[in-house]
Amino acid sequence: MGQQTSFSSVSEATLLKLAQKSRLLPSSFLIDDLGSERRLVGGGGFGDVYQGNLTSGEHVALKVLRIHVGGTVRDRIEKDFCREALIWRQLKHPNILPFIGISQTAFPGQLCMVAPWMNNGTILSYLESHPASDRKKLLTQAALGLAFLHNRSPTIIHGDVRGANVLIDNNGQACLSDFGSAILTDSLATITSTSVHVRGNIRWIPPEVLNPGNEDFDTVRKHPAVDVYSFAGLCYEIYTGKVPYYEQRAGGAVMMAVMEGLRPKRPDVNLILDDLSDSTWNCMEKCWSQNPASRPTIQEVIMTLENAGPNVCSRWSCR
């Protein structure tokens, strides 16, 4: 078993290296049964998201690489696209958004990743339309998805855990999505990342990653503690409906607060959207620890969520 794991680790990293260098993906990734439906539903940075369909009629999400630049920037974007596709393709778990494949023909001259369409949208939009949902259960499901990533060999760091990247499937289950910031942590991991720039949103990024003077940046960003810190921010979103540090509009002020060890305060009971137990809040505070070594593992977080009992009167539980 040890030899098999080692071989798998080396094979995955080698495949990533080859794909990034050539900016080509294995032919097994390609699909050719997309229908003609296209509806733009979102976008940003270097990508757009469309709702499309397969020839069977099934709705799918199309993540299209949009490039209007050349040179080294285009080269980096294409390499990052290949890295995301290769990492995502390996992940099969009930709480991970499934990867269907890659299309080279849906948008001429542009690469396109295909995934199932989630009618319920993100966990944030789902809770807006289903406010009485069990938030603890949804968070536990998202944590199970993270545990799957962290327990793999090689370990995968998601790198951008927040409400916008948690989708709700047709069965009402939470699924992690968007692996554009994901990192492999094995010994060959240096070949799986094409940029040392900080990715994600600073409201969910831990201090050791934000620190511009951190000489061990490449090491600390490959530790599961990065995702655990971000998970506390996800919990804050789900229980309050607000982003961490919502009082601060300027990114610089948020970054300063994070670096100084200041964390969001426990919200007033009137602002809580569901039962937020003492044990859950204490766990969130541990996840937000300034020292990565002081943070719990995601498995410990799951145990806390599963054992947490309601001891706060929320606006829904008290009706």
Q: CA-CA distance, 32 to 155, in Å (whole number)?
A: 32
Which residues form the catalytic set?
160
| Contact indicator for 34, 115 with CB cutoff of 8 Å | no
* Residue 174: strand pairing partners: 168
Structure tokens at 182: 């994901």
* Residue 157: strand pairing partners: 183
Q: CA-CA distance, 200 to 122, in Å (whole number)?
A: 17
| 63 known member of a binding site | yes
Residue with tokens 């000489």: 215
Phi-psi region of 35 (alpha: psi -120 to 50; beta: other; left: phi over 0): beta
DSSP three-state, residue 103 = strand
Measured distance between the N- and C-terminal CA atoms of the chain, rounded to whole angstroms: 53
CA distances from 231 to 60, 206, 259, 294 (A): 27, 11, 18, 15
Which residues contribute to the annotated binding site? 63
Sequence ranges of the binding site for ATP: 63
